[in-house]
Structure 1
């Protein structure tokens, strides 16, 4: 890796650069708590206590807990696409290999003891009201993911690319949930292999 690459700011750095230092600490703490325990389960008092800041400091950076939750998910969204693009860039022009690489990483993550699925999916379940700030971020992420999977299915020459793309999306969402239910040794570990079988079946004439 070149020295220029090493000195490039991370996606997290770019996202938090506009926040005051207290805001960065609050977002870091909130991200950990929201992901591990759920957004609704964590109150503002717990966040400021863990971050070692005052409640006014939180509201100077985030107008409300809802906006803090949305900020957490916007950061999550950036990191999600960073991982996705890394898999795509590793296999230029080969969408089947790109999908396999991305899902292999998901399968491995589901085997970790602290795995809590996808923060976007979890937030959408927690907030059924469609206008909620956290829900809006989650919906946008899932819609874009669906669009990309359908486009990749089309570039593979699937007879019904929309159906294949949606099938891949359903497999991924299933891995997010089953990874939490079954843990180590559960079915989510084989999400990449199952996706490849689905692709193979969809490409057969």
Structure 2
């Protein structure tokens, strides 16, 4: 008779995988490491996740949901002020880079590890980043940007630079310029929303 997974097995696997993938990179982690970290048997692991690719995709989907919950928490206090909400999100990115266990953005990291557009990990990473770009575009439109797409794309470059430089050169390197740069971008694209305002 097949063993029934104990309650919380899937959760334990995802939590252990998140730690391993975040610290070592996705490709570097084998399924045996996940088994060792969780203490579950191989059959139980593969019952929950039929393949490593499936595990990677599930981890990124869950991470995406958690990320948007955090983003909502930091932007909600500024509801009705989309320009300030954008800056609140930028501050959230800056704070994440300052965390001692920051190893880069899991979405950019995963997409760079898997170049095949059809890979489930790359697809989930792309969905997250497109979602972020769409949010920035929508907030920009609400803030009165003449070209919300240009605003979103420029801010995506700032965010990507912040995360990449923060991981390699530290938060006191080029990453320290991210907030000031984002503010300049907002003032350029949304001058009426920010006229006389201190972000």
Same fold (TM over 0.5): yes
Structure 1: gaps spanning 5 or more residues: 1-18
Matched, 1:140 2:127: yes
**8 A Cα contact 2:140 2:190, kept in partner:** no
1:47 is aligned to 34
1:124 is aligned to 111
Correspondence 1:169-184 to 2 at 5 A: 169-184=156-171
Which of the residues 38, 53, 61 maps onto 2:48? 61
Structure 2: gaps spanning 5 or more residues: 1-5, 193-199
What is the alpha-carbon distance in structure 2 between the residues aligned to residue 204 and residue 98 of structure 1?
Answer: 15
What is the number of equivalent residue pairs in this alignment?
188
Normalization by structure 1: what TM-score?
A: 0.86
Moved over 3 A (4+): none
**8 A Cα contact 2:53 2:120, kept in partner:** yes
1:3 is aligned to none
What is the alpha-carbon distance in structure 2 between the residues aligned to residue 24 and residue 108 of structure 1?
Answer: 26
Normalization by structure 2: what TM-score?
A: 0.88
**8 A Cα contact 2:74 2:92, kept in partner:** no
Matched, 1:109 2:96: yes
**Alpha-carbon distance, 1:60 to partner:** 0.8
Question: What is the root-mean-square deviation in Å for CA atoms of aligned residues?
Answer: 1.8
What is the alpha-carbon distance in structure 1 between the residues aligned to residue 156 and residue 55 of structure 2?
Answer: 27
